[in-house]
Chain A
């Protein structure tokens, strides 16, 4: 039952990434064609564009949501692949611990960066 819930969240996170990740990819990789969320010109990685996006609360919220959903989707997918190899119970507990602690640490760091960048 618990795994069914995790799998359902995995699918829902995939749907969220489809929207949020696509928005991110369109911003970063269709900057020349569409120029969305790049007020300082068609180069998404120019500091002026990066700083402008960092100051937009909506974009910061999108970053944090994308960070959380992508970490869950990616780490849960990795967990499934590793577990399918038929590792023992102890190894499974170890993998769980590494992925949960690593995922939470990355989420905390990425969230801090998104919030701190607003003040730069």
Chain B
């Protein structure tokens, strides 16, 4: 990682919410971070709650009773949504990081062209797949349980 003292992060956390003529992908960046932090927070609690299985069925049922209300159910579904988005957007980011779907390198001749237009079909495909996963999971979550 670059030395943060050398490259000042002028906007800080405010930069997550906007900073000029940013495209849709820039807001996916913010959502990727927010969902990552959300899933991580849940994950730490999840480790403690699910470890109750090591103490037997009584401890397990007790914990499941504690986290069974509508508040936790809605929260759990939000975590599922966050996981699905983070996963599909993460695939997009890894593919772009590895040089896929960005198009060939071109000489920077004015008027400059952004490679975002080349990347956009991948973004649309990943968000579509994420949407399908949300619908299937939502059906199981809300209709079958």
Contact = CB atoms under 8 A, between A and B. Distances in A.
B145 A32 contact: yes
B50 interface: yes
Contacts, number: 99
A86 B8 contact: yes
Nearest to A120: B56
| Interface residues of A, dominant DSSP | helix
Most buried by B among A32, A70, A84: A84
Given A11-B94, A47-B60, A74-B40, A32 B140 contact: yes
A29 B84 CA distance: 12
Interface in A22-54: 22, 25, 29-33, 42-43, 45, 47, 50-51, 54
A83 B2 CA distance: 10
B140 A51 contact: no
Interface in B98-145: 136-137, 139-141, 143-145
B87 A113 contact: no
A117 B54 contact: yes
Contacts of A18: 87, 90-91
Given A11-B94, A33-B136, 14 more contacts: A3-B1, A22-B87, A25-B137, A29-B141, A32-B145, A33-B140, A47-B57, A51-B53, A71-B43, A81-B37, A86-B4, A86-B12, A106-B44, A117-B54
16 contacts: A11-B94, A25-B84, A30-B136, A30-B140, A31-B140, A33-B144, A50-B60, A54-B53, A67-B47, A80-B1, A81-B33, A106-B44, A110-B51, A120-B53, A120-B55, A120-B56
